[in-house]
Structures are given as structure tokens and as C-alpha cells.
Chains A and B, each alone.
Chain A
Amino acid sequence: MSRQTNRGTESKKMSSELFTLTYGALVTQLCKDYENDEDVNKQLDKMGYNIGVRLIEDFLARSNVGRCHDFRETADVIAKVAFKMYLGITPGITNWSPAGDEFSLILENNPLVDFVELPDNHSSLIYSNLLCGVLRGALEMVQMAVEAKFVQDTLKGDGVTEIRMRFIRRIEDNLPAGEE
């Protein structure tokens, strides 16, 4: 079921704000609901995971990318196709580990944090942690167990925002007959 939309530049622009603003309202609400930043971070990760396991279907349906043969291809698809499609940005891929099982996504600007400032009493908050959950959930659905975490954050004064991706293992799952 596809929704054919006629998106002019105006509505695209407001859509971006809608997601950013909604995300901000969510983080604010979670900070009220939970007493400490760690719990908020966990909640964001969990919600991101739930989104990721469903977002992957949307992604695969719309992007037409085939199966990735290694982690390098995966990195390319994440940065150049997925991030572009959903957030309109193309992070850089750097800092590959010698074994090829870890890399960094470098986001020069993070659309989630437009107009956001972290107040002083939330220094442990990983504001965009939803993204880590989304990546983890989506990749799990394509048989990859990964760890994603923020190692730099412009909200905390760093020059760029950096997400470190680590391949843990392939998930050998019982796939329904007929799927490869």
C-alpha cells in the first residue's frame, strides 16, 4: 500500500520540522517521566529498536538495494542510501578497524538537534539515542547483530557527531521457506 504524495519543497521542509519537533517533545516528556538520563537513554534506544525493526521493511521496499555481502557494503548502504532517504543527510564513513568490523558514521549536522540545547542538568543524556536503536533494530532484521553508540556529539560541544558501529555476529535465524 503506497501513498502517492505530491510533495512540494514547502511541505518537505515542514515535514522535517515535524519529525524534529516531535522528537524534541518526546525527549522532553521522557526526561519528565524518568528520573535519570540513563533511563531516558535506554528508553530512547528501546523505542528506536522498535522503530528500526519495522522501518527496515519500508527501507527495503523503497530502496531496492540487494543483500550486502560484507560490513563495508552495509556501511555504504546505511550512509549513502538509508540516512539520505530518511534524514536527507549523507554521513561520512571513517575509522575502519583493521578487522573491518567497526566503523564510524560522521554526521556534520544532525537534523534531530536543530534548535536543541542540552540544559546543564542533563549532561549524560544521549539526545539522539533513538538513532542507535533504529540502526540496531533494522540490522537485526537483516541478520546482523550490531552495536551502535554515540562517541561524539555536537550537542556536547564536539565538532561533529560520531556514531560508532560494531559488527558483533551474523544472526543465523530460521528464515521462512522461500526467503534466502
Chain B
Amino acid sequence: MADAVLFEFLHTEMVAELWAQDPDPDPGPGGQKMSLSVLEGMGFRVGQAMAERLPRETLAFREELDVLKFLCKDLWVAVFQKQMDSLRTNHQGTYVLQDNSFPLLIRMSSGLQYLEEAPKFLAFTCGILRGALSTLGIKSLVTASVAALPACKFQVVIQRC
């Protein structure tokens, strides 16, 4: 049983490492996007695998909203030892998940000082959400935004084929 703090330390180091690898010293939108998508891709595989390990009964959801509630409660507790603070939806496939004190942002000072850095710390988690949804049969696009640390919002848009 690995201690939760190990994940935090590893995640921080991964963000630093993937950013350092960026060959472009002036990270324009292109460079940033690549690093973010690598992190997101890694999170996706982790989210996929975590959801695959859930017991069968858990996977029988009646509705899409139940899946999102599950992510806000069970998945968030499993990953961050807390529940998501709020879940809103327009009932047309868009969900906004809000965490008022997102653990991966807490170590950075609160407010607006490190706003620019925040997306790097959210990419992996967006991937976890998208990966878990994928295993649960839902294709989605997950983005995150930060108004003021350590609060952040994850936007899940269901992709209907």
C-alpha cells in the first residue's frame, strides 16, 4: 500500500521533468500543448486502469449522471482522499466538477501568483478523468481551468459519436 504522498511527489517531479524536456526554451503554445498532452495521455492510461480494477457491480450505472457522481465521490476519494466539492450539469452532456482545494495545487501559494503554472498540474488529472470515463463506456473531452489557486474546475464534455 503506497502512501498517498508518494503520488504527489511523483506527480510534481513528472511535471518538472516533462517541462524541462521541452526543447523550445520559449514555450509557445505548440510546446506547451505537447507537454500537456503527454501528461494528459499518461493520466488517461492510469484512469483507464484504475477503473478497470473496480468490482463488476460498481460498473453498472443507470445513467450518465451516476457515472459522473461516482467520479466525484469514489474516484476522487481514491485518488485525492477527498470528494469533489460540486458537480453541475446542463443535462446536455456538459459537466463542471469543482474542487475548492485541489490537493495538487495546494502546495503552491493560493491566489493568483502561480496561475500560469497551474495548467501543468491539472493535465494528468484531466487524463485520469477521461481514462476512467473511457473504461466506463463514455467518450469525453476533459479540460480544466483555475480562477484562483487552489480552487479549480474540470469540464467534462461527453462526445457522442
Q: Which residues of A contact B (CB under 8 A)?
A: 1, 3, 5-7, 10-23, 25-26, 28-29, 33, 43, 47, 50-51, 54-55, 58, 85-88, 111, 130
List CB contacts (< 8 Å) of B69-88 with chain A. Answer: 77-79, 81-82
* 14 sample A-B contacts, Cβ–Cβ < 8 Å, listed by A number: A12-B1, A14-B78, A15-B4, A15-B78, A18-B46, A18-B50, A21-B45, A25-B46, A26-B10, A50-B13, A58-B5, A58-B9, A87-B1, A88-B1
Contact A16:B49 (CB < 8 A) given known A6-B81, A11-B78, A33-B21? no
Contact A43:B17 (CB < 8 A) given known A21-B49, A51-B10? yes
Partner of B14, one of A26, A28, A111: A26
Contact A21:B50 (CB < 8 A) given known A10-B78, A11-B81? yes
Considering only CB atoms, which chain A residue lies closest to B2 in the complex?
A: A19
Interface presence of B136 (CB below 8 A): no
List 8 extra interface pairs beyond A3-B81, A28-B45, CB under 8 A.
A5-B81, A5-B82, A15-B3, A19-B6, A26-B42, A51-B9, A85-B3, A88-B1
Closest chain A CB from B139 CB (angstroms): 20
List of 9 A-B pairs having minimum Cβ-Cβ separation, nearest first: A14-B78, A88-B1, A19-B2, A5-B81, A25-B42, A16-B1, A16-B2, A21-B46, A86-B3
Q: Is A50 within 8 A of B38, CB to CB?
A: no
Interface presence of B16 (CB below 8 A): yes
Q: Is B2 within 8 A of A86, CB to CB?
A: yes
Provide the bound-state CA to CA distance between A19 and B3, in Å.
8
Provide the bound-state CA to CA distance between A11 and B78, in Å.
5
Which chain B positions have C-beta within 8 A of A19? 2-3, 6-7, 10
Q: Is A18 within 8 A of B79, CB to CB?
A: yes
Contact A17:B53 (CB < 8 A) given known A29-B42, A51-B9? yes
What is the size, in residues, of chain B's interface with A at 8 Å between Cβ atoms? 31
Closest chain A CB from B112 CB (angstroms): 20
Q: Is A22 within 8 A of B5, CB to CB?
A: no
Q: Is A54 within 8 A of B10, CB to CB?
A: no
Provide the bound-state CA to CA distance between A156 and B57, in Å.
37
Q: Is A88 within 8 A of B2, CB to CB?
A: yes
Considering only CB atoms, which chain A residue lies closest to B38 in the complex?
A: A29
Provide the bound-state CA to CA distance between A7 and B77, in Å.
9
Interface presence of B119 (CB below 8 A): no
Which chain A positions have C-beta within 8 A of B4? 5, 7, 15, 18
What 0/1 readout, one digit per residue, does chain B (30-65) give for beta carbons within 8 Å of chain A? 000000001000110110011001000000000000
Closest chain A CB from B68 CB (angstroms): 18
Considering only CB atoms, which chain A residue lies closest to B101 in the complex?
A: A3
Partner of A3, one of B11, B42, B43, B103: B103
